[in-house]
Amino acid sequence: MTSKEIQGISFFHLAKKYKTPLYIYDTSIIKQRFEQLQKALSPIPHKIKYACKALSNIHILRLLNNWGCGLDCVSLNEIAIGLKSGFSSDNIIFTPNSVSFSEIQQAYEQNITLNIDSITALEKFANYYPEGKCSLRFNPDITAGGNSSIQTGHKFSKFGIAKEQINNVVEIIQKSNIKITGLHIHTGSGISNPEVFIQMLDTLCQLSKKFPHLSFLDIGGGFKVAYKKDDKFIDIELLADKIVPEMKKISHEYGRPLELWCEPGKYLVSECGYLLATVNQVKHNGERTFAGINSGKNHLLRPMLYNAHHEIINISNPDAEKKTYDVVGYICEEDTFARQRNIEKIREGDLLCICNAGAYGYSMSSNYNSRCRPAEVMVYQGKDFLIRQRESLDDLLRNQDFDPFASEL
C-alpha cells in the first residue's frame, strides 16, 4: 500500500529531519485523485467541493484552490480558513447542522452558498432575507456508509430536512421571495456501492420538480477508499458512468442543465497521508506482544472510535518475517491502533508507518493526556515542506497561562 519513500524522499529522512510522531502528506496523490474525478465528471457541468473537515491544513487547501477545487465547510472557522487559503466566497458551500441562526447569517453575509438543513432555519432565513438564495439539505431515508456513526441519510438521523416535509418547505418559500438554487443530500461516509448515488439522484430529481430556480444538485461526499489490500472502494469511472447519463436525464426533464456538485473528503486525502511513529517499547504480556509507539488515539482516533483498519508497516525492518502484534499508543486507557496484526518483526526504536492517515487524522486529533499534536509535512513536487509546527507545552498553556486569583490574593 505504500513505498518507503514519497516522491524520492525517504520516510527515514523525513523522520530524522522533523522527528516523530509526524503526519506526512503526498500532494501528488491528492492531485491525481482530484484530476481523476474532474476527468470522470467532465461530460457534465460539475463542481468538486472538497470537504475540508477531513484535513484542513491551509497549505493543502491552498493547493486544492490552485488546482480549481471548491470547498465544503461545516463551521465558520472552516470558512475563515478556506478564505485565508485563497478560496473565493462564491466557491464555498456551508452545510452546518444544529448551529445558531447567527452562524448561518454570518456565513450568508460573507456571500457563502448556504445549505440549510432544517425547517426552522429556513423560516428564519426567509424572514431575514425575503429575497435571499440558498440550497436545501434533504434527508432521503437511505441507509448507507461505513458504520453507524458515519451514516447520515437514514430516517433516524439528525441531518437534513425529511423529504416528507417537502410541502412545509414549499409553503415557506411561497410566502416569501426566496429562491432555492440547489438541493443537497449526503448519506454517509465510506460508500462503495455506486447505486446509492443513483438512488440519491432519483430523490433529488423528484424534489427538483418543486423548485424552479435550481442551478445545482449536490450528492455530498462519502466515496469509499481502500484501507487495506482487497478492501472495497468506489470505482470513480464506474460511478461517473452511472451518474453522467442520470444527470443528463434529470437536466433534460428539468428543462435546463443542472450542475452536479460533490463533496469528497476521504477520496481526495485519505491515501495521501501517513502517520510516522517510533516504537518506544516491545512488551510480551501474557498471550500478547504489544508494540508501544510514541503516538496515541489523541493523534489518530479512527481505530479506537470506529474500529477502523489502518495498514501499519515497519519501515525499519521491511523484509523481516511477520509476527503478530497489538500496536498500542501511549494514552492512559485503552489505546490500540491494531489488534493481533501481522507486521514485519518490530524492535524498539523502529519506525512504523500508519497508512490512510490523511483524512480525519490530524483533524480529529486532541491534546488528551496533555500530549502535543505532531507536526505536519507535505511533499510537493519532490520537496518536503513543514506545513504545521509540532505543538509545544506553550501551546497547551496559551489560553490558561494567567492567574485568575491575582486580584483576590
Element (H, E) at 11: helix 11-18
Alpha-helical runs (H) found in 109-180 = 119-128, 166-174
Catalytic residue among 52, 73, 332, 355: 332
For residues 5 and 27, what is the distance between their CA atoms, to the nearest angstrom? 13
- Contact between 140 and ligand LLP per CB under 6 A: no
Nearer to ligand LLP, 302 or 371 (CB): 302
Is the Cβ–Cβ distance between 250 and 300 less than 8 Å? no
Which neighbouring-strand residues pair with 342? 324
Is 69 labeled as catalytic in the residue annotation? no
DSSP string of 234-266? --HHHHHHHHHHHHHHHHHHHTS--EEEE--SH
- Contact between 189 and ligand LLP per CB under 6 A: yes
Asked if omega into 21 is within 30° of 0 (cis), the reply is yes
Options 24, 31, 65, 72; binder of ligand LLP; rule CB under 6 A = 72
- Contact between 222 and ligand LLP per CB under 6 A: yes
- Contact between 267 and ligand LLP per CB under 6 A: yes
C-alpha cell read off for 322: 511477520
CB of 265 to ligand LLP, least distance (A): 2
Options 263, 271, 311, 344; binder of ligand LLP; rule CB under 6 A = 263
Cβ density class 14-28: b for 16+ within 10 Å, e for less: bbeebebbbbbbbbe
Only segment of 9-17, 160-168, 174-182, 261-269 that touches ligand LLP (CB under 6 A): 261-269
What x-and-dash track marks residues 296-335 binding ligand LLP by CB under 6 A? ------x---x-----------------------------
For the chain, give the longest Cα–Cα distance.
75
Site for ligand LLP in 342-371 (CB under 6 A): 359-360
For residues 337 and 304, what is the distance between their CA atoms, to the nearest angstrom? 7
Cβ density class 256-285: b for 16+ within 10 Å, e for less: eebbbbbbbbbbbbbbbbbbbbbbbebeee
Kindly compute the dihedral angle of the four CA atoms of residues 52, 58, 61, 66, in this order, to the nearest 10 degrees.
160
- Contact between 78 and ligand LLP per CB under 6 A: no
What x-and-dash track marks residues 19-58 binding ligand LLP by CB under 6 A? --------------------------------x--x----
Pairing of strands 312-314, 351-354: antiparallel
For residues 172 and 134, what is the distance between their CA atoms, to the nearest angstrom? 13
HEC string of 338-406 equals EEEEEEECCCCCCEEEECCCCCCCHHHCCCHHHCCCCEEEEEECCEEEEEECCCCHHHHHHHHCCCCCH
Residue of this chain nearest to ligand LLP (CB atom): 265
- Contact between 275 and ligand LLP per CB under 6 A: no
CB of 200 to ligand LLP, least distance (A): 12
Nearer to ligand LLP, 14 or 219 (CB): 219
- Contact between 186 and ligand LLP per CB under 6 A: yes
CB of 188 to ligand LLP, least distance (A): 7
Options 70, 82, 264, 303; binder of ligand LLP; rule CB under 6 A = 264
CA distances from 39 to 91, 186, 251, 291 (A): 19, 22, 20, 43
CB of 203 to ligand LLP, least distance (A): 16
CB of 78 to ligand LLP, least distance (A): 11
Number of chain positions touching ligand LLP (CB under 6 A): 20
For residues 15 and 278, what is the distance between their CA atoms, to the nearest angstrom? 9
Options 220, 273, 303, 374; binder of ligand LLP; rule CB under 6 A = 220
Options 21, 140, 221, 358; binder of ligand LLP; rule CB under 6 A = 221
Nearer to ligand LLP, 21 or 220 (CB): 220
- Contact between 150 and ligand LLP per CB under 6 A: yes
Judged by the rule CB under 6 A, the positions of this chain that interact with ligand LLP are 51, 54, 72, 95, 150, 186, 189, 220-223, 263-267, 302, 306, 359-360
Give the residue numbers annotated as catalytic, written as ranges: 332
